Structure 1
């Protein structure tokens, strides 16, 4: 059974490009082996991630994130059984924030600022779909 999970968290400490690259590399290796796909966005100390795959591997990945001391204020935004993956092309794609149009964020949010704590899971999922369509996702 396939599921999609969307969560947000705050970084426990500021993260540079090197640390983020290491997280993405590790995620891509583990996710590929476990059949998990998805997207990651990191901006202003906040992670937003969508995970898709089998229920067991996705749940285990989310538990590892909750237990990871690099994350705090972890919030589950959406969890659903799905018939097919929407983000199957990426072991872990990354949102290219230089391609993030504030008007696009404003379409789904109260302000032009990307704040998952003030947005619904459905709005964030729709935003991620538009980011994929606009080519704002960096390779897997």
Structure 2
């Protein structure tokens, strides 16, 4: 059974571009063996991630994230059973906010800043779908 899980968290320490690149690299190396695909966004110390895959694999990954000392304020934004993946070819896509029209963020939030703690999970899901359609996703 496939599921999609979306969560937000705050980094416990300042992250450099190199730190974020290392996280993406590790995800892209480990996710195929677990059958996990998804999308990751990081901005101003906040992560938003969508994970797709088998229920047990996704649940186990989320548990590791919740227990990871690099994350705090972890909040579940959405969890659902799905018929098919939205990101089947992405071991881990990355939202490049520099390629995103700021009006898109403003469409779903009070300000033009990405803050998943201030919008609903449904709004975050809709925003991610529009990010994908806008070409703001980098896949390596």
Report the TM-score, using the length of structure 1 for normalisation: 0.97
Equivalent residue for 1:76?
Answer: 76
Query: In the alignment, which residue of structure 1 is the partner of 2:59?
Result: 59
Quote the residue 2:18 is aligned against: 18
Kept in 1, the 8 Å contact 2:66–2:74? The answer is yes
Report the 3-state secondary structure (helix = DSSP H, G, I; strand = E; otherwise coil) of the residue aligned with 2:61.
helix
Q: Cα distance, 1:44 vs. partner?
A: 0.1
Give per-residue Cα distances to partners, 1:91-118, cap 9 Å, x unaligned. 0000011112221011111221110001
Determine the structure 1 residue equivalent to 2:28.
Answer: 28
Q: Deviations over 1:44-96 (max 9, x none)?
A: 00000000000000001100101111000000000000111112221000001
Query: Displaced runs of 4+ in structure 1, greater than 4 A?
Result: none
Quote the Cα distance in structure 1 between the aligned partners of 2:97 and 2:45: 13
Partner of 2:94: 94
SS in 2 for 1:117: coil
* Structure 1 segments unaligned to the other structure (5+ residues): none
Q: Distance in 2 between matches of 1:132 and 1:7?
A: 17
Distance, in Å, in 2 between the alignment partners of 1:89 and 1:129 is 15
Q: Which residue of 2 aligns with 1:107?
A: 107
Q: TM-score w.r.t. structure 2 length? A: 0.97
**RMSD (Å), alpha carbons:** 0.8
- How many residue pairs get matched? 140
